[in-house]
Chains A and B, each alone.
Chain A
Amino acid sequence: MPTLHDILREGRMVANHRPWPRAMVNARTWQMAAATAADGRLTLLGLWGDADVVHMALLDDQAGSAAVLSLECPDKRFPSVGRLHPPAIRLERALRDMHGLEPVDCPDPRPWIDHSGGAPYPFLSAEGDSLHQIAVGPVHAGIIEPGHFRFTVNGETVVRVEERLGYVHRGIEKLMRGAMLEQGAKLAERVSGDSTVAYALAFARAVEAALELEPPPRALYIRGLMAELERLANHLGDIGAICNDASFAMMHAHCGILRERVLRAAHGCFGHRLMRDCLRPGGVARDIDAAGLALLDALVTDIRRHFPALVKLYDNTASLQDRTVTSGILKPALARQFGAGGYVGRASGRAFDVRRSIAYPPYDELEFDVPSLTEGDVNARVWIRIREVEQSLSLIEQMMARLPAGPVMTAVTSRPGESVSMVEGFRGDVLVWLRLDDDGRIVRCHLRDPSWFQWPLLEAAIEGNIVADFPLCNKSFNCSYAGHDL
């Protein structure tokens, strides 16, 4: 079978695409790449459209290299990747809705993001005696994002869950078109509120790669601090929320307090609880002062003092363990096939973390572990989060100790270029592909949330579980609606 290198050689290399190579390929090579991904030798990172061109980002796990393949489709048709490699199906359905490019022989002809069709959405059928359907959402009883779930159940046992998303589509990629960099950074940051820093960082790194800028070292470290604060806040919130979905409110209350302290520390250091508008292409908008560092120091000490007791409480509460252990098992083979990122992948044996696998500064200079488990149940996803909280605390300490002095911003020039960037958000790998024109305007910006590959896995993980365990499994995945719907 061909390697990523072999596939790239078949195509015509595109100049000015950084940092990964991009090649224009023909339909035959495109299909060969799809077949290689289907074989499990390459991981699909993204599939998106442009004006009459489709792009596909692929990762070679073994070599640690990635590349973008592009196929021209002047007749608005291209050979389906999803036909060979199922993780691409939803991406292709979204691509058809957004760009009108038809994936030929795609197994699923239904629309995905586009809800404008008058006819009711045809859900997949599951037939049999005593099966019935439960429709949940898009508006839920709790204050969460909107999404519809269609359950087919046999008594209490789930036979199938099908997701229907797209309710929070805001047209972000269209708004990006023609936007100035400053506006683009604002838009990227607002894709998903809980991943503000991750998206801002991914966008900034894409801009810097396209313009060949190098942000000052101090800015890189401050970005790292922001990213780890965001991870801490979300993981702490998730650990509590998962326990709350098993009606164990005590963990929720105590984790909520810790999460609040992280957010307040972020506000104290950077002037915004979610660190919005703090990270810019070229550096960071806000420097951290001695008072901010003292806040972070106090925060790390505080969490280190209180978190172990919560971990112990989680581990020693038998009634809670009874709910989380062995429910919602995601098989490692599926996690690998879909290239699941974040805690979803790492709890199912896919030890992929962008900070380690395709390291970017400042993580290339720091010591940390990438925790990984193989059980793939709700409990494993909680434990990955617990371990990552500990790693984030250690990373924050290391970054504070090594924080270089100097400026925090470089001037951003304008020139044409193309780039791709991938960073590790709390949920998993966020991918951004960017093309800039001569004036520094955005021609096309594609943002791919890790949830694209996690949502379908939730459907697989819930199969055979009971209906009442769905909220628990769903919370342990905690996929993004907004990041997915764009």
Chain B
Amino acid sequence: MISALLPGLLIQGAQMLVVLLLSPLLTGFVRKVKARLLRRQGPPLLQHYRDLLRLLRKEAVVAENASWLFRATPYMIFAATWVAAALVPTFATGLLFSWSADLIAIIALLGSARFFLALAGMDVGTSFGGIGSSREVMIASLAEPAMIMIVFILALIAGSTQLSTVAAFMQTPAVGLRVSLGMALFALLMVAIAENARIPVDNPATHLELTMVHEAMVLEYSGRHLAVLELAASLKLLLYLSLIACVFVPWGLAPAGAGWATHILGGAAYVGKLFFGGFMLAVFETSIAKMRVFRVPDFLGAGLMLGLLGTLLLFVSRSL
């Protein structure tokens, strides 16, 4: 019994460690590429690790009127995001928790993380936290339904909401070229940009209090609280890139029960996909200005519509 579970456990453990350790590198990589595109030297690739360590060592200053929620939220968000990121098959599909790696579960985990962050943003009662929370919820109210639509498309095509199954199905020739999959990809890219507070929806590098969304909610955090929040943000970016890679470019994923060589190959392919995604993100972010806040619903509405159309198309083509 134990020996049957062991490989799955090992891979699952490795996956959890990989996402945790790799995510700051991905954030650092995106920052580096953006800096190079702007003809700057940019911080070293490992700078984000150092920042996190520095924050962990620093004293956490908490507002006097902060409730337990404010203190507990960073850890809750970190835990939820870490679990969600560990559920997405990155280099292998044979994860121990594969049975629970349901797309809807991942959305629910991220949704609860966001819910608590929005609450924490308002907890101390500063105006910026309130602005950030209200904007975040406005974005979420469109991003989450869009995400659900994407899940429907994938589920209708692959016949399951389980990521391992979806990834395995995507590798078979049965998939073919589907318009609805293209729509799902575009919708997922839009949602990923909005969810990760990237340009054009939000600017992760802004110093302008009045334009912030995610940064405004975490403005009151410092020290270890901020460190885990930043790490959770890095994990989320990695999660979305992994998700896109797992569903749309699943090649190289080591199937369950494969040998070590396949797993190592899978790992290399994953890192390659991840950094290609990060590079494209940096290029995209450099070539576009941030949109007005009231245009964000238009942007995400388009994502939602794409998702809806994709689902509709599947239903229509099925009945034919």
Residues of A within 8 A of B (CB): 132-136, 140-142, 155-156, 243, 245-250, 252-254, 257, 317, 319-320, 322-323, 327, 466-471
A466 near B206 with CB under 8 A, answer no
Q: Contact at A468–B211, with CB atoms within 8 Å?
A: yes
Indicate whether B90 reaches chain A with its CB closer than 8 angstroms: no
Of B154-162, B242-250, B288-296, the stretch lying at the interface with chain A is B288-296
Residue B318, interface by CB 8 Å? no
Q: Which of A133, A319, A466 touches B200 (beta carbons < 8 Å)?
A: A319
6 more contacts with CB within 8 A, not counting A247-B200, A319-B290, A466-B293, are A141-B207, A249-B34, A249-B38, A253-B38, A466-B294, A467-B210
Q: B286: which A residues are within 8 A, CB to CB?
A: 249-250
Q: Which of A133, A155, A243, A327 contacts B289 (CB 8 A)?
A: A243
CB distance from B282 to the nearest CB of A (A): 11
Complex CA gap A243/B211 in Å reads: 14
Q: How many A-B residue pairs have CB under 8 A?
A: 81
The answer to whether B295 and A136 touch across the interface, beta carbons within 8 angstroms, is no
Kindly name the residue among B206, B288, B291, B292 whose own CB sees the greatest number of chain A CB atoms within 10 A.
B292
State in angstroms the CA–CA spacing of A470 and B292 once bound together.
11
* B40 proximity list for chain A (CB < 8 A): 253
Q: Is A134's CB under 8 angstroms from B127's CB?
A: yes
Taking CB atoms, residues of chain A closer than 8 Å to B206 are 247
Q: In the complex where A247-B199, A257-B39 touch, is A140 in contact with B209 (Cβ < 8 A)?
A: yes
Q: Which of B127, B128, B293 contacts A156 (CB 8 A)?
A: B293
**Residue ranges of B at the interface with A (Cβ–Cβ < 8 Å):** 34, 37-40, 127-128, 130-131, 134, 199-200, 203, 205-211, 286-295
Q: What's the nearest-Cβ distance from chain A to residue B250, in Å?
A: 32
Whether A250 pairs with B200 at a CB distance below 8 angstroms is no
B294 to chain A, nearest CB (A): 6
Q: Is the CB of A248 within 8 A of B289?
A: yes
A-B contact pairs, 22 of them (CB 8 A): A134-B210, A140-B207, A140-B209, A156-B293, A243-B289, A246-B289, A247-B200, A247-B203, A247-B289, A247-B290, A248-B289, A248-B290, A249-B34, A253-B38, A319-B291, A320-B289, A322-B289, A322-B295, A323-B291, A466-B293, A467-B293, A471-B210
Q: Are A467 and B290 in contact (CB under 8 A)?
A: no
**Chain A residues with Cβ under 8 A from B208's Cβ?**
141-142, 245, 471
Q: Per a CB cutoff under 8 Å, which of A132, A156, A246, A319 touches B294?
A: A156
CB-defined contacts of A133 to chain B, threshold 8 Å: 127
Pick the contact of B290: A141, A156, A254, A323 (CB < 8 A).
A323
Q: Residue of B at shortest CB range from A475?
A: B208
